Chains A and B, each alone.
Chain A
Amino acid sequence: MKKSKSAALERKKEVVAKLESFGLDLYEQMEKGVFPSIKMPSRSIENIRYSPEFRQYILGERKVHRSARNIRHIRPFTQLVWTAFFAHELAKHRKTSTLRDVYYSAQAYNMSFKDQPESNNIITDLETISGFAREDFNVFPEERSAIFGDLTIEYTVPGYEGKQLNLTSHPDGVMIGPALTSSEFAKTGADKVIAIEKGGLFTRFVEEQVHRKFNALLVLTAGQAPRATRHFIHRLNKELSLPVYIFTDGDPWGMHIAMVIISGSANAAHLRELTTPDAKWSGVWASDIVKYKLPSDPLTAVDVKRLYELQRDPRYEGKLWQRETKRFLKIKKKAEQEAFSRYGLTYIVDEYLPAKLEALEED
């Protein structure tokens, strides 16, 4: 526990140091009388590849060169430097910001971005250069997800430093926002993490005391898990050595929500520590639809197309994934998590979940 306590603060320090050295590098180039320039890994499709070693997408060897000498580069270059400066200010004053906020703040420095995507893209540039995620710069997306369970955290945000909170204190769960993301883990009684795609089921699990019955931390991903949530799950797995189980709908989209938590996305190929390679997708599987005779809907043409795409995806090479995609295509059916309700409201907690967890532990 003690070790992890310093980790969050250490990381903040590293981020600040990185930003400062970035500025110093540019400053020294200009002092030498040359146009400042930078090199960073290219994020173009051709330079993204899947690394079996890291079990996630990573960027290849190709680099892009950005120079203030180039008339087409100088504007995005300036925006990048400003963004670094802005992130540094945030870190210095221990403030947080959103992507939207960054877009508007730029205007105060007469540094307007053309539109939100342009500003988002520059932030991604900064992530690529520094190797830190935007959440490390205290820039958060608007979307939120939640966590519930026996974990006591200790805040590091100004005004709350040292203050502790047990995450069972609010039955709706605690939002995985900037304050939680930057907090230290003080102690936990849980021995596993269960991530759930949908809010309805998350609430049901809290009501049914799943956290107690299964000794688990419950995480609501609210659809595709935000980066902050993925990083948080990563930390739970890494710092607290908790195994992670992911529950999603039984369709290609639910499958992929689990996959992104496990192996990350191509969009985040420049970042590390967002993935949890050892996490397990625990359903709803295609085989569960058959085994539990779940009420189901036929796959749509889009679903089928998506399944074929996933079959070719390097992240889906594993036995389980190939088997389940094939099976979905075979039964041509999909089912939502709520489908278990046909056997009564508590069936999923009383019957399905224990059987599933047991099966997975044996794997």
Chain B
Amino acid sequence: MVQAFEEISAADFFYRNRDIAGFTNPSRAIFSSIRELVENSLDASDQSRIPPEIYIRLSFEYEGSMKGSGEVKAEDESLFENGFRGTEPKVYRLRVADNGSGVPARHIPAAFGQVLFGSKYKLKQTRGTFGLGGTMALLYGQITTHKHALVKSSTGGARIYIYKIMVDIPRNRPIILDRKILLNKEGWRGTIVEFSLEGDYAKAMSRILEYLKQTALVNPYANIMFIDPKGRLYKFTRVTTQMPRPPKETKPHPYGVDVEAIQRLIRVTPCRNMVDFMRNHFHRVGEKTSHKFLEFAGIGKTINPRKLSRERIVRLVKMMKRFRNFLPPDASCLSPISEELLKAGILKELQPEFIAFCQRQPSTYSGHPFIVEVAIAYGGNIARKNDLVLYRFANRIPLLYDEASDVSWRIIKRINWRRYKVSLDMPIAILVHICSTKVPYKTVGKEFIADRPEVKREVLNGIREAARQLQRFLTKREHVERERKRLSTFSKYLPKIAQFSTELAGKKRPPDIKKLLWSVKKYEEK
């Protein structure tokens, strides 16, 4: 028997393996679709530096068509969702509109109709990474409803483009069904995506709302509106127009490159000697470091990089990993949330009594720079549920699934909280944000952070530092509380002593105890 060999496209691959991109089932799919499009919108407005206005509308279209179809694994879902089973998937229409930078007309079809096409492959911190999410959402809509998607976008120029597109899955190419061009009289800028998909909103609802709340928390400069299928409006209003410092695009750090990366650089480099090559193509490598490194690696400084043999290239990469004197990556390519913005977001969504914040110094894992930010919030709207609440964020997006696998979760579980005067029944939320040019996700679905030792150390130290601040707050509060109690004890009992001894002594007026009460207060203030 002859086996049939065939090649499949990237779109086909993700069509067959949509689980790994977060499109496991109807409720997860609806969550992931909203999430991918919202994150694209947020990235788009980071580029335009204009505070985002994001409008999401999910409306009911008709009852689902895939009843009983093997494609839907609704039964698995009950393991993850708290909604009751028995709701059949329905067809919804999803519309996400933003005021971001807009997509240039010539890229619109590919950006939304081709998997793994995007603007985010550069070394810079962005929410999305693969150019996968937006198209996956449309692809999922297409395979469940067999309908085209509508994309409308303008970069703020004279024209607005409207495309009707579908995905040619076997070839991973967009199919343009229709294209309209409108005059952009009002100078509108942004992107609107609208398509139909099958999903289960009843089950996905709580996750979607939680996702939006946490997104609003780490993006306090965004206005987010969501109208759900029942016509309910959820509005998350910005509390600031200040946006985080934009990340800069960066060159690769020597610790983070491999042989393939060097070969690609050699193909395009204009440099004619190794000193210049090192200096021009790598992050934090200057004249001096370049010389030192080449001496260390035993590679001639004057060699033309294009003439390097394969063995030499392998050696170069090996020595790069071994050389200890490269400067660590700087953080200009990163955009942490900052204390001010994170606190504003927390205050807005959780209204806590107290917020501790710690931003760690930039650090690296495998040549990728990253910054960890930790905030611990106490009181307010944070629920007491006999466990600490953990909010996880990576590159300013909330991570909602697989909490127990996340490095932060494991660290929190291992910390002896009593040392910080924290008991688990306190209303405490811990927020951990990791931003990096390459967030160490374990899956394509961006669910949880892997257990990298460098990342783990930074998260642990960040949590410790914030926990120490919390401890100081709790200690002070306890002290104030004790003092208040002490004074109230004196002012409760002393007048009684005065009253009863006055009656015993047969005096008419009670003794003046104001001075005594005042003296206990003053003593404590000293």
Residues on A close to B: CB < 8 A?
19-20, 22-24, 26-27, 30-31, 33-36, 68-69, 71, 74-75, 77-78, 81-82, 84-85, 88, 109, 111
User: Chain A contacts of B512 at CB under 8 A?
Assistant: 30-31, 33
Question: In whole angstroms, what is the CA distance A74 to B498 when docked?
Answer: 12
* A74-B494, A75-B489, A75-B493 given; A31·B511 CB < 8 A: yes
Inter-subunit contact B489/A30 (CB<8 Å) = no
Inter-subunit contact B500/A81 (CB<8 Å) = yes
Does chain A have a CB within 8 A of B73? no
List 14 A–B pairs whose Cβ atoms lie within 8 Å, in order of A's numbering. Answer: A23-B505, A27-B507, A30-B497, A30-B511, A35-B516, A36-B497, A71-B490, A74-B489, A74-B490, A74-B493, A74-B497, A77-B493, A78-B500, A81-B497
Inter-subunit contact A33/B515 (CB<8 Å) = yes
User: Chain A contacts of B505 at CB under 8 A?
Assistant: 20, 23-24, 26-27
User: Chain A contacts of B245 at CB under 8 A?
Assistant: none
User: Chain A contacts of B502 at CB under 8 A?
Assistant: 23, 27
Inter-subunit contact B486/A26 (CB<8 Å) = no
B98 CB, nearest partner CB in chain A, Å = 61
Question: In whole angstroms, what is the CA distance A269 to B502 when docked?
Answer: 30
User: Chain B contacts of A111 at CB under 8 A?
Assistant: 496
Inter-subunit contact A84/B496 (CB<8 Å) = no
B488 CB, nearest partner CB in chain A, Å = 11
Inter-subunit contact A82/B506 (CB<8 Å) = no
Does chain A have a CB within 8 A of B503? yes
Question: In whole angstroms, what is the CA distance A109 to B506 when docked?
Answer: 19
Inter-subunit contact B501/A81 (CB<8 Å) = yes
User: Chain A contacts of B520 at CB under 8 A?
Assistant: 69
Inter-subunit contact A26/B497 (CB<8 Å) = yes
Residue of A24, A30, A31 with highest tally of chain B CB at under 10 A:
A30
Inter-subunit contact A78/B504 (CB<8 Å) = no
Inter-subunit contact B497/A20 (CB<8 Å) = no
Does chain A have a CB within 8 A of B513? yes
User: Chain B contacts of A78 at CB under 8 A?
Assistant: 493, 496-497, 500
- Tell me whether chain B's interface is mostly helix, strand or loop, or mixed: helix
Contact of A68 among B494, B506, B507, B515 (CB under 8 A): B494
Question: In whole angstroms, what is the CA distance A44 to B504 when docked?
Answer: 28
Name the residue on B nearest A74 (C-beta): B493
Inter-subunit contact B504/A22 (CB<8 Å) = yes
Residue of A34, A36, A77, A78 with highest tally of chain B CB at under 10 A:
A78
Name the residue on A nearest B511 (C-beta): A30
Question: In whole angstroms, what is the CA distance A20 to B505 when docked?
Answer: 5
Question: In whole angstroms, what is the CA distance A22 to B504 when docked?
Answer: 8
* A24-B504, A27-B501, A27-B511 given; A82·B486 CB < 8 A: no
Question: In whole angstroms, what is the CA distance A77 to B497 when docked?
Answer: 8
* A30-B513, A33-B516, A71-B486 given; A85·B504 CB < 8 A: yes
B503 CB, nearest partner CB in chain A, Å = 6
User: Chain B contacts of A22 at CB under 8 A?
Assistant: 504
Name the residue on B nearest A81 (C-beta): B500
User: Chain A contacts of B507 at CB under 8 A?
Assistant: 27
Q: Which 4 A-B pairs have the closest CB atoms?
A: A23-B504, A30-B511, A26-B501, A24-B505
Task: Please give 17 more A-B residue pairs, beta carbons under 8 A apart, in addition to A31-B511, A33-B515, A84-B504.
Answer: A23-B500, A23-B502, A24-B506, A26-B504, A26-B505, A27-B501, A30-B498, A34-B516, A68-B493, A69-B520, A71-B490, A74-B489, A74-B490, A74-B494, A77-B493, A85-B504, A88-B503
Inter-subunit contact A20/B506 (CB<8 Å) = yes
User: Chain B contacts of A68 at CB under 8 A?
Assistant: 493-494, 497
Question: In whole angstroms, what is the CA distance A74 to B501 when docked?
Answer: 14
Inter-subunit contact A82/B500 (CB<8 Å) = yes
Name the residue on B nearest A78 (C-beta): B493
B59 CB, nearest partner CB in chain A, Å = 63
Contact of A84 among B500, B511, B513 (CB under 8 A): B500
* A30-B511, A81-B496, A111-B496 given; A36·B501 CB < 8 A: yes
User: Chain B contacts of A77 at CB under 8 A?
Assistant: 493, 497
Name the residue on A nearest B495 (C-beta): A78
A352 CB, nearest partner CB in chain B, Å = 54
Name the residue on B nearest A84 (C-beta): B504
Name the residue on A nearest B507 (C-beta): A27
User: Chain B contacts of A20 at CB under 8 A?
Assistant: 504-506
B129 CB, nearest partner CB in chain A, Å = 61
A166 CB, nearest partner CB in chain B, Å = 39
B306 CB, nearest partner CB in chain A, Å = 84
User: Chain B contacts of A26 at CB under 8 A?
Assistant: 497, 501, 504-505
User: Chain B contacts of A84 at CB under 8 A?
Assistant: 500, 504
Question: In whole angstroms, what is the CA distance A84 to B503 when docked?
Answer: 10
Question: In whole angstroms, what is the CA distance A111 to B486 when docked?
Answer: 17
Contact of B501 among A23, A33, A69, A109 (CB under 8 A): A23
B337 CB, nearest partner CB in chain A, Å = 45
Question: In whole angstroms, what is the CA distance A34 to B511 when docked?
Answer: 11
Contact of B496 among A19, A23, A34, A82 (CB under 8 A): A82
Question: In whole angstroms, what is the CA distance A109 to B500 when docked?
Answer: 10
A268 CB, nearest partner CB in chain B, Å = 25
Residue of A19, A20, A26, A75 with highest tally of chain B CB at under 10 A:
A26
User: Chain A contacts of B506 at CB under 8 A?
Assistant: 20, 23-24
User: Chain B contacts of A82 at CB under 8 A?
Assistant: 496, 500
Residue of B496, B501, B503 with highest tally of chain A CB at under 10 A:
B501
Question: In whole angstroms, what is the CA distance A344 to B330 when docked?
Answer: 111
Question: In whole angstroms, what is the CA distance A82 to B503 when docked?
Answer: 10
Question: In whole angstroms, what is the CA distance A204 to B489 when docked?
Answer: 58
Inter-subunit contact B516/A30 (CB<8 Å) = yes
Contact of B500 among A24, A33, A35, A85 (CB under 8 A): A85
Name the residue on A nearest B485 (C-beta): A71
User: Chain A contacts of B493 at CB under 8 A?
Assistant: 68, 74-75, 77-78
User: Chain B contacts of A81 at CB under 8 A?
Assistant: 496-497, 500-501, 504
User: Chain A contacts of B511 at CB under 8 A?
Assistant: 27, 30-31
User: Chain B contacts of A23 at CB under 8 A?
Assistant: 500-506
User: Chain A contacts of B494 at CB under 8 A?
Assistant: 68, 74
Inter-subunit contact B504/A71 (CB<8 Å) = no
A200 CB, nearest partner CB in chain B, Å = 46
User: Chain A contacts of B486 at CB under 8 A?
Assistant: 71
A84 CB, nearest partner CB in chain B, Å = 6
Question: In whole angstroms, what is the CA distance A31 to B516 when docked?
Answer: 10
Residue of A27, A68, A74, A75 with highest tally of chain B CB at under 10 A:
A27
B365 CB, nearest partner CB in chain A, Å = 54
User: Chain A contacts of B497 at CB under 8 A?
Assistant: 26, 30, 36, 68, 74, 77-78, 81
Question: In whole angstroms, what is the CA distance A162 to B507 when docked?
Answer: 33
User: Chain A contacts of B503 at CB under 8 A?
Assistant: 23, 85, 88
Name the residue on B nearest A34 (C-beta): B516
User: Chain B contacts of A33 at CB under 8 A?
Assistant: 512, 515-516
Question: In whole angstroms, what is the CA distance A31 to B502 when docked?
Answer: 11
Per-residue 0/1 for B191-219: is the Cβ within 8 Å of any A Cβ (1 yes, 0 no)?
Answer: 00000000000000000000000000000
A244 CB, nearest partner CB in chain B, Å = 37
Question: In whole angstroms, what is the CA distance A35 to B520 when docked?
Answer: 10
B481 CB, nearest partner CB in chain A, Å = 14
